A and B are shown apart, each in its own frame.
Chain A
Amino acid sequence: MPSQAFPAWPDSIPAARRYVSEAMDQLPAGTGQTAALLISELATNAVRHGGHEFVVDVHTFPDEGRLWIGVTDSDTGLPVLRTPAVTAEHGRGLQLVSTLADSWGARRRKNTAEKTVWFELRYAPLDLPG
């Protein structure tokens, strides 16, 4: 399954979006658009809090109509879901993830300094030739 490491600097955010878009060129347009937005949010969190690099994993299950994307970095602090006021300038990234993903979560790996934040999107299964 596709996986790629990115240096933890801001230019990696659009790069991660492009990577995800290319990894799932067969998905419905709306699903691709949502995936690009949510990977942007998780990559942004990794760049702002997560050490020197982050890894993006993309797993697609076209026959099930399921897409799983995870971002792993070396910051063990887990993300916090907030409900900002309309005048608040920050705190909306995970709000988008929690609203638009069919499921999402975060996990720490025992005895490592790593965490993965992931989301899953569902879509109508594709009719694949063959």
Chain B
Amino acid sequence: MELTGGPRARLDVSGGTSGGVVVQLTGELDLASLPDVAGPLAELLTRRPQPLVLELGDLTFLDSSGVSLLVRIANHFDQVRTRSATEPVRRVIEVLGLADRFGLDEA
């Protein structure tokens, strides 16, 4: 999705059906859009460590600055699984050797 004139990225948190947390990322995640998600990220990182699902179906671009955010989330929460990553996003995670860390093929 194209976000123009406003925030370029969004981070939404919801409860999972079987407990745990679902984090949905939308838009393009790079150094320029990290401030767009800083508020919800700070709130997310105050939650107790628990299983977490990253829902990345609407994340169209991710570079190493965006990966640093995913690593922060993975470091804080117990188990992370990644769902429906788009092809460019999946490729970045795989190339960096983070597929296991982010549970890329387990969701």
Contact = CB atoms under 8 A, between A and B. Distances in A.
Interface of A: 10-14, 17, 33, 36-37, 40-41, 44, 47-48, 86-90, 92-93, 95-96, 99-100
Nearest to B35: A10
Interface of B: 8, 28, 30-33, 61, 63-65, 67-68, 71-72, 74-75, 87-88, 91-92, 95-98, 101
Contacts of B33: 14
18 contacts: A10-B31, A12-B32, A13-B30, A13-B31, A14-B28, A14-B33, A40-B61, A41-B63, A44-B63, A44-B64, A87-B71, A89-B75, A90-B64, A90-B68, A92-B67, A95-B64, A96-B63, A96-B64
A100 B96 CA distance: 10
Q: Which of A14, A40, A99 has the most CB of B within 10 A?
A: A40
B32 A93 contact: no
B87 to A, nearest CB: 8
B63 A89 contact: no
Contacts of B68: 89-90, 92
Nearest to B96: A92
Nearest to A94: B64
B63 A47 contact: no
B71 A100 contact: no
Given A40-B30, A87-B71, A99 B8 contact: no
A89 B30 contact: no
A48 B88 contact: no
B61 A41 contact: no
Contacts of B98: 86
Contacts of B8: 14
A41 B64 contact: yes
Contacts of A37: 61, 63, 88, 92
A57 to B, nearest CB: 20
